Amino acid sequence: MSYRERDKEVIPILPRQRQENERSELREKRRLSIIQAAISIFTQQGFEKATMQEIAKAASLGVATVFRYFPKKEHLIVAVASHIVQSEVVIFEKIVHGDGTCYEKLNVIFDTLIFFQQAEHQQNSKLIEAFECYVALSKEPVEHIELYQTEYSKIIALFTELAALGEQDHSVRASSNSVNILLTMMNVFGTFSKKMSMLEGIDAFNTRVDPSEQFNLLKSLFLESLKP
């Protein structure tokens, strides 16, 4: 019998409970390995052409195991998108709940969104852009879409919280609809960054202006308009 400490009390962990905890950890580890493998395969093949067999092979698991976790490929597509947004939530939480004024935090958030577009991070942005197109073009409601919506709503809540901070510390221009202004800016900048990631390296969509310069120009426009 082993023990753990909770609320300054030593509580025994029974062997059966320990086994259940270990099984739960193993399930979560396998689930994450499937999602990571799917991110790689979806990036290479696209949602339509990628197969569960390829994903299972990349995860070093049997295809039956993958189907036990995700009975449909669509479920895995949603899980991948939700996982990506969840990772962004963690980053934005640290910024919003960290030190600094609203204006300073906005500056960091814009820089973070620009950082997401660097080559080694572009696959996530491309997959989210592809996912949004997948949902928009789907003839039937996408199953488990609420998982993605739950994660995305956390980002909205964080930006709403940031707008409230701006009203308190007066580091940004006061407005009766400051929340909507801030959310609109984040949506525009986020949508632009995802689109630029999707079109990266495609000569037919060359915008003639260096992407980094476009990001910095857009950032400057937004931040200047928010100054008190």
Q: Which pLDDT score, from 0 to 100, does residue 205 have?
A: 66
Residue 221 has pLDDT above 90, yes or no: yes
Is the torsion defined by CA of 160, 162, 167, 172 positive or negative?
A: negative
Q: What's the pLDDT tens digit per position in 83-139?
A: 999 999 999 999 999 999 999 999 999 998 887 766 556 888 889 989 999 999 999
- What's the pTM? 0.84
Q: Which band of pLDDT confidence, cut at 50, 70 and 90, is reported for residue 193?
A: confident
Give percent of the chain above pLDDT 70.
89
Neighbours of 214 (CB within 10 A): 15
Cβ atoms of residues 178 and 103 within 8 Å: no
CA distances from 36 to 43, 83, 167, 222, 224 (A): 11, 9, 40, 34, 39
Name all domains of the chain by residue range, CATH numbers in brackets: 6-71 (1.10.10.60), 74-228 (1.10.357.10)
Average pLDDT over residues 79-84: 97
Closest by Cα among 71, 66, 74, 68 to 48 = 74
For the chain, counts of helices (H) and of strands (E): 9, 2
* Selected residue with higher pLDDT from 204 and 224: 224
